[in-house]
Each structure stands twice: as structure tokens, then as C-alpha cells.
A and B are shown apart, each in its own frame.
Chain A
């Protein structure tokens, strides 16, 4: 079950945050996303310590908290995608697939000439596509 997705800009400013459960506190989710940004920065700025290829876009599992898992993805323009999920056995391939579709939706939203980079993404089409991707993520991993 995906709890929340977030798009964070170059200066760590939030561009799009969407939560998919009503049960949890939105503020707590914001806080989790914010903490995971530190992990992203650490991975990006210490290439020798992290070990794996430093120029991968998919960052993998950032850190597991009490009942959430947080995955990260970094694009070439330093824009970060954060995915918070409560699933316990999420396959790597599923998350990569999710981020690939999410990246496609993001690229389409940013290609809008009226979109100002650095401002929040206000496109309704983007929001719809993201909810569709989130729904199909649930199907893929259970089916």
C-alpha cells in the first residue's frame, strides 16, 4: 500500500506531495519525506563511501522506519522522487517500474511551457496519472 509520493526540487523545496490514505497524519508523512531527503543528500555527496555506482538514478531503499519503507529516485536535474509505502515485501523491480512511470508523468508535466521550474506542479493531469500509477502498483505486486 503506497502511503505517499512526493516530488522535491533542487533546493529541497517540495513540488508535489500527495498522500493516499486518510488514516495517517499528513504532517507525519511530510516529516518522513523531509528526513529521507537527508539520506538522499548523503548518498549523493559521499560517492566513495556508498560503494555502488554514484550516477545511478534509482537510489533504492533509503531507510525503513517503524512501519514504513521509503524509496528514492534522483533525476538528472537533481529533482528527487520519494515513495513511502507500508508493504513489507516489495520487489525491487516493482519500485523501479513505478519510478519509471512516475518519471514519465513528471517529464510530461514539466514540459508544459507555462510551468515554472521550481514552483509547485499544479497540473490536474499529473495528479490523475499519479493516482493511476499508484493504483496499478497495488495490483502489480499482489497479482
Chain B
């Protein structure tokens, strides 16, 4: 006979009790994993954006200098992706190899609110991945991260993309003079 068995059959599927999740999910792992995956997704975008922009906008020139590629990211890439240039580009004061691109309202963070238990998760990791893709494909390996910087007077914190260049980039830059 149909329906006879160990499992109780419910006439209405809505009556079935909802099963409770049995395992504990560690949030610390998930945040780092999520940020890494967002960044990887951004990396593939960045590599392609660089190729496309060089063909469309740059004409016949390649960027070989550090400041050149940084201002390219700061203005051209931002304009193509977000419709406007980034708010500011600063050189870090503590270390020679650190630069920061700041944005008051990063597009990816604008309409996403982070739940309290996600802690310091920043969706700007996607944009950090894009910047890393552009820099890496152009021959400037770097570690790029996104941070929130609370500013007095502003309700929401400013987002800063921190770029830390690898040793070989600085050495090459010093060699080129």
C-alpha cells in the first residue's frame, strides 16, 4: 500500500515540521572565504577590463610607471566601472609601498547593509579584486584590500582600497629613475 512506511506522511506539505539545522557554522571561516571568493571574482573582471580599456582608450601606449598605472586605475578604470573618477588617491605615510584610493560611497557598499554578526566583512573586496586584477595583469603585483574608515560628520564610513605593492615593483621603479 502506498504511504505505509516508517515516515509519517502529511496530507498538507505545510504541516511538515521544519527541520532544525544540526551543525554549527563557524562565521570566522566564512567571512574570510567569502572575501577571498569575491576578490577572485573581481580579479577576473580586472584582467579583462585592462585589456579592453587599453584597446579602447589608451591607443598606443603602455603603462610602465607606478604613478602612471595608479592614476590610470584612479580615473579611467573608475570612470568606466562607476561613471565617475575615484574621490582621492593618496600615498601611505608609514610605508613606501602603500597607496590608498578612497571613495565616499563605494557603489557595491551603497545598497548592502552588513548584518551585525558578519563583523568586519566588506563587500568592497570585489572592487579590491578588480584593482588587483588590473595591477597584476599590467605587471605590478600587489596585495589589495578594502577597509572601512569612519569619518566624523559622515553617517556611513568611507571606503578605502589599500594597495601594497610587491618588492620587485619598487625595485624596478627605483631602477627606472
Q: Do A and B come from one complex?
A: yes
Question: How many Å lie between the Cα of A47 and that of B50 in the bound state?
Answer: 23
* Residue on A nearest B175 in the bound complex, by CB: A47
* B58 x A76 contact (CB < 8 A): yes
Cβ-based interface call for A93 (8 A): no
Contacts of A106 in B (CB 8 A): 51
Interface bits B17-57 vs A (CB < 8 Å: 1, else 0): 00000000000000000000000000010011011101100
* A107 x B55 contact (CB < 8 A): yes
A116 to chain B, nearest CB (A): 9
Question: How many Å lie between the Cα of A58 and that of B58 in the bound state?
Answer: 13
Cβ-based interface call for B61 (8 A): yes
Question: How many Å lie between the Cα of A104 and that of B44 in the bound state?
Answer: 19
Q: Interface size for chain B: under 10, 10 to 19, 20 to 34, or 35 or more residues? A: 10 to 19
Contacts of A56 in B (CB 8 A): 60-62
- Total interface residues on A, using CB and 8 Å? 21
Question: How many Å lie between the Cα of A73 and that of B48 in the bound state?
Answer: 18
Contacts of B47 in A (CB 8 A): 77, 117
Q: Knowing A47-B176, A77-B47, A113-B44 are in contact, say whether A57-B52 is a contact too (CB < 8 A).
A: no
- Partner among A47, A55, A77 whose Cβ is within 8 Å of the Cβ of B51: A77
Cβ-based interface call for B150 (8 A): no
- Partner among A55, A110, A111, A113 whose Cβ is within 8 Å of the Cβ of B62: A55
Cβ-based interface call for B109 (8 A): no
Contacts of A55 in B (CB 8 A): 61-64
* A74 x B62 contact (CB < 8 A): yes
Question: How many Å lie between the Cα of A57 and that of B64 in the bound state?
Answer: 11
Contacts of A107 in B (CB 8 A): 51-52, 55
Interface bits B53-96 vs A (CB < 8 Å: 1, else 0): 01100101111100000000000000000000000000000000
Binding site for B on A (CB under 8 A): 47, 53-58, 74-79, 103-104, 106-107, 110-111, 113, 117
